[in-house]
Amino acid sequence: MAADRHIIIDGWNAVRSNPAMEKIFLERGLDAAREELWRLVGPLHDYGGARVTIVYDGRGDEVSILRRNGINTLSEVFTPSCMTADELIEQLCASSSNPSGITVVSRDNLLRLTATTFGAAALAPDKLFDGARGCSRAMAESLRLSNAAADRKWKSESAFAALDAFDLEVREAARRAEIISKHMKKRRRRLASAAEGREGGCPAPAAPANKAKKAFSAQVKSFAALEPKKVSPAPKRVSDEKPFSFSEALKKPMSLSEIAAAKVLGDKPARKKKRNK
């Protein structure tokens, strides 16, 4: 399909021409069949770039137009109750300024003949669905190639690209054999034993009350061991000290305070005898 073409589809005629959509129409109703038709012809608009209009027989008083996703080139048209879908498609071909750019899709031979009379192209629904499936495959392949190119560009420019393989290896190793430390193993064993005790009705063993106190004392001792030891002078022996002797003190000059101290100690000097004149 050319990108500048306007594809006008006879809605209910196209639904009845496809066995899968006709089954959906009979089992799940009109709305489900409409959604399936949109799913099939959507790639013609999204990848092929064609304008797609589906015309249905309506029951209202006026023509109603439903825009898919708010896009003007993708719409559903419901005719009023006084007009059929074939008649509206014929009028669109007759009033178009470029009828050669219109492709009418219907299984109705009379409608296709009328459309070609006005200069439009005619196509059977089966041919349209084949082209839509080709557009869908091409769109999926284009998306895959685009994603692969973006991934290669990211790996070539990103500083963290080399970590991807290592990340996968680490995750695989962690999944097969969990890596835990000895501390974590002990903690898990304590938690498991505590859980078993609670399940069995026995309370979990409480920690000793003086545990924190012992830890603090040990820490204080360790700090005390780091401090330098003070060497205290040896005490003098009392027996080694000689008693104060006043008679010996007279041999050397003494101050008044030393003489007073000698009196307190009890060593009194002998009094001199007065000479009789």
In order of their start, the domains of the chain are 6-133 (3.40.50)
User: What is the per-residue pLDDT for 199?
Assistant: 63
Task: Name the token pair of 49.
Answer: 């770039």
Question: What whole-number distance in Å separates Cα of residue 27 and Cα of residue 275?
Answer: 161
Query: Which comes out higher in pLDDT, residue 80 or 269?
Result: 80
User: Are residues 50 and 134 in contact, defined by beta-carbon separation less than 8 angstroms?
Assistant: no
Query: Which comes out higher in pLDDT, residue 262 or 146?
Result: 146
Tens-digit pLDDT profile for residues 15-48: 988 888 889 988 998 889 989 998 889 888 888 8
User: Are residues 75 and 53 in contact, defined by beta-carbon separation less than 8 angstroms?
Assistant: yes
User: Are residues 129 and 40 in contact, defined by beta-carbon separation less than 8 angstroms?
Assistant: yes
Question: What whole-number distance in Å separates Cα of residue 40 and Cα of residue 44?
Answer: 9
Of 24, 5, 45, 17, nearest to 124 (Cα)? 17
Reported as type and span, the H/E element at residue 66 is strand 64-67
Of 98-102, 110-114, 195-199, 262-266, minimum mean pLDDT range:
262-266
Beta bridge partners of 76: 54, 66
Radius of gyration of the chain (CA): 55
Task: Name the token pair of 144.
Answer: 């895959």
- DSSP tag of 101: G
User: Are residues 10 and 111 in contact, defined by beta-carbon separation less than 8 angstroms?
Assistant: yes
Helix (H/G/I), strand (E/B), else coil: 14: helix
**β-pairing verdict for 74-80 and 64-67:** antiparallel
Residue 231 binned pLDDT confidence (cut-offs 50, 70, 90): low
